[in-house]
Each structure stands twice: as C-alpha cells, then as structure tokens.
C-alpha cells in the first residue's frame, strides 16, 4: 500500500540547540560559527543577495531573509519587537530553513532565536578582528539584554577580550549580564552611565533596543582609535549613534543596499562612501588605516550570516544526533499519486 514514506527533515529545537552549543562548548561553537561566516564572506560574489523583506507595524517588524550560493538555499524568519521584553517575551525570535537548490527539498529546519544571538555575536567579532586595533583589550557593552552575553563571549573567543564595561538603562539587566558572565574569566565593571562605560574602552558595542532614533553614543563619546560595533540600529528610523560620529568614522557594512535603509548610515546621504566587510576580509579593501582612526561596523544582520549559521549547524547533526525528524515533506511512493496517498490514509484510518 502506498502511504507517506519516510522523507524526514532534521529539526533542531531550542532544547537541542542548547544541547548542541553546550556539547561543542560555547567558545568553540562561536569560533566554528565565525569561521563559517568568514568563509562565506570570502565567497561573497557567489551569493544571490537582496535586501530582507520587512513587514513593519507600529510595534515592530517581521522579516524574511533569503539567500543562496547556487547549491544551498536558506532563509530566516525573524522579528524585532522592542516592547516585547517588558511583556515577558523576547525582542528578537527566529527560525530558519536550509534547502537543496537542486531538488528544492528542505534539509534542515531550525530554531534561530539562540542561533541569531550566536551568529550576530560571531559576525561582530569577525568584523572586529579585521577592524579593531590589534592591542584592543577593553570592551564597553551598552545594552545588556538578550544579545549582550553572546557578544562578550564571541569577543573573548576571537579577540581575547576579557575586560568589560557594562551599562544599561535598567541596572537589573546589567546585573543579569554580570552574573551570567561571572564564571567565564571576565573582569567586569558595571557602570552607572554610558559615558562611564566608554571610558578607556577600545571597542564599544551598542546593542540596545528601542523603536526610534536614539543617541546611545553622542559625538564626544567616541575617541580616537576606538572600534564601534553598532548592533542595535537595524531598522528604518531605529539608530543608536549621533550622526557626527559617522562623519568622523571609517564605516564598514554588510550589504550596502540593506544597510542604507536600516543601519546607522540611514542618517547619511544615499551615496555616502562605505566599505563592504567582505572586501576587507578578502584583502580587496583597506580595513583600519591607523591606530587613531575610528572604525564603525554598522551591523544590521545579513542573510548570508544566517545561511552560514544554518550550514554550520547542519554540519554538526550527524556527529551529535541532536535533532528530531520532522515529517515535513509529503512523499508518496509514486510522486504523481499525492491524492492517492491522501485517500489511502483515510482508508487506513477507518481500518484501524
């Protein structure tokens, strides 16, 4: 009898993602993820690229982020709702799919709330590896919410940053971040203002959530030689930096057409010169010019980074077995007999 045959798709739940990251180890996982992200940046021209597709509302945004390298296709569904946190929900959640371009069949279905935090942090650290001063040792993190500890761990794993200066509008968030990171060998200073947090910092990460144009860093807070990792400004009308800082910085972006709409550079003219990160990684463009320049990674998050993250997770499934099989694709024995599969299932139900 022809019924649905076993054509299952591996599904990585939140529970299995946690097990996977802990089994590999947080820092080794971040390093492996960063290597995959970097390898995919190196072959940037191979990717089919477009701005993500947003659906804006008064409260937030829901976005689809597709890309393909010609063999694999991936997309992420992700939201950004800053008010969620006060209602006991995540500001950012996501899930994603990796598929085989040659059959169109999905190969992986995964949670991407944790994976987004990991990939965002890994991407930030890859950028900083190329752009921050080589002697950078102190990082300020402004905004101590869901993403913050991941940023700290990635900068430790890739750049050896162990000294942190934390600030959040809500002191309870800073305390949570300090407590969560206490077992990982950081030297942490909890600060009372953003100005205090950036004192002596070589790298400044801004990762706040607010659905409007904000000034987390005013012009006087960015001194010579600093690297700014601006993560929270990632939607039209949602920025974190004073415009004057941008005018004094060398600006590096993921995919200019998307960043010009969503990033800090939405504050500048549409043709303002920026450098694409992949070109720096490939050696085709200059990164940091000298120890006194301000470098700015205007991060908004691009589809290739999620593709890399899904690819990395997929590569770990066989050895770890940390997934469930999802009955996601109908697969009758005779491909044209989809309807027959349905009515035979009814007959089987009646007989049971």
Nearer to ligand NAD, 143 or 287 (CB): 143
**Residue 180 engages ligand NAD in binding (rule: CB under 6 A):** no
**Residue 196 engages ligand NAD in binding (rule: CB under 6 A):** no
227 φ, ψ to 5°? -110, 125
Cβ 4 vs Cβ 347: under 8 Å: no
Of 37, 72, 114, 216, the one binding ligand NAD (CB under 6 A) is 216
Of 91, 93, 229, 258, the one binding ligand NAD (CB under 6 A) is 91
The least CB distance from residue 252 to ligand NAD, in Å, is 13
**Residue 234 engages ligand NAD in binding (rule: CB under 6 A):** yes
Of 10, 66, 74, 80, the one binding ligand NAD (CB under 6 A) is 80
- Whole-angstrom CA distances from 23 to 12, 18, 219 are 14, 8, 43
58 CB contacts (<8 Å, ≥6 apart)?
A: none
The least CB distance from residue 93 to ligand NAD, in Å, is 9
CA distance 60 to 258: 17
**Residue 275 engages ligand NAD in binding (rule: CB under 6 A):** no
Nearer to ligand NAD, 201 or 341 (CB): 201
Q: What H or E segment, with its residue span, contains residue 342?
A: helix 338-351
Three-class SS state of 268: coil
The least CB distance from residue 301 to ligand NAD, in Å, is 3
Helices 303-320 & 14-24 angle (0-180, nearest 10):
80
**Residue 151 engages ligand NAD in binding (rule: CB under 6 A):** no
335 CB contacts (<8 Å, ≥6 apart)?
A: none
CA distance 115 to 96: 10
Question: Residue 232 has what DSSP assignment?
Answer: S
Confirm whether 290 is a catalytic residue. no
Nearer to ligand NAD, 133 or 238 (CB): 238
Cβ 310 vs Cβ 33: under 8 Å: no
Question: Residue 290 has what DSSP assignment?
Answer: S
> Which residue in the list 40, 69, 234, 306 is annotated as catalytic?
234
> In the numeric block, which tokens belong to residue 248?
């004094």
Of 132, 300, 316, 341, the one binding ligand NAD (CB under 6 A) is 300
Per-residue contact flags (x/-) with ligand NAD for residues 38 to 67, judged by CB under 6 A: ------------------------------
**Residue 93 engages ligand NAD in binding (rule: CB under 6 A):** no
**Residue 299 engages ligand NAD in binding (rule: CB under 6 A):** yes
CA distance 221 to 198: 7
Catalytic residue annotation? 234
Binding site for ligand NAD (CB under 6 A): 80, 82, 85, 91-92, 116, 120, 142-148, 168-170, 173, 207-210, 214, 216, 231-232, 234, 299-301
């Amino acid at each position: 009898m022809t019924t649905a045959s076993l054509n299952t798709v591996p599904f990585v739940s939140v529970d299995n993602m946690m097990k996977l990251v802990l089994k590999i180890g947080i820092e080794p996982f971040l390093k492996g993820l960063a290597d995959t992200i970097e390898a995919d940046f190196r072959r940037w021209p191979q990717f089919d690229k477009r701005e993500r597709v947003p659906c804006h509302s008064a409260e937030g945004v829901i976005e689809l982020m597709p890309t393909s390298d010609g063999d694999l296709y991936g997309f992420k569904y992700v939201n950004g709702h800053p008010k969620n946190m006060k209602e006991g929900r995540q500001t950012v959640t996501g899930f994603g799919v990796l598929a085989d371009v040659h059959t169109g069949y999905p190969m992986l279905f995964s949670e991407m709330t944790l994976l987004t935090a990991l990939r965002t942090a890994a991407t930030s650290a890859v950028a900083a590896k190329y752009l921050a001063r080589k002697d950078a040792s102190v990082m300020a993190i402004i905004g101590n919410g869901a993403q913050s500890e991941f940023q700290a761990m990635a900068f430790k794993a890739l750049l050896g940053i162990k000294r942190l200066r934390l600030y959040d509008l809500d002191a309870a968030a800073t305390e949570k971040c300090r407590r969560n990171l206490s077992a990982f060998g950081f030297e942490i200073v909890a600060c009372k203002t953003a100005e205090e947090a950036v004192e002596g910092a070589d790298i400044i990460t801004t990762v706040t959530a607010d659905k409007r144009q904000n000034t987390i860093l005013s012009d006087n807070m960015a001194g010579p030689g600093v690297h700014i990792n601006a993560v929270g400004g990632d939607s039209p009308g949602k920025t974190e930096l004073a415009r004057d800082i941008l005018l004094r910085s060398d600006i590096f972006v993921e995919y200019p057409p998307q960043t010009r709409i969503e990033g800090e550079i939405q504050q500048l003219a549409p043709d303002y010169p920026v450098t694409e990160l992949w070109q720096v990684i490939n050696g085709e463009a200059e990164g940091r010019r000298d120890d006194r320049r301000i470098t700015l990674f205007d991060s908004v998050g691009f589809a290739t980074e999620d593709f890399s993250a899904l690819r990395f997770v997929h590569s770990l499934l066989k050895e770890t077995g940390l997934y469930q099989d999802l009955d996601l694709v109908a697969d009758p024995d005779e491909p044209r007999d989809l309807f027959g599969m349905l009515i035979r299932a009814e007959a089987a139900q009646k007989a049971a």
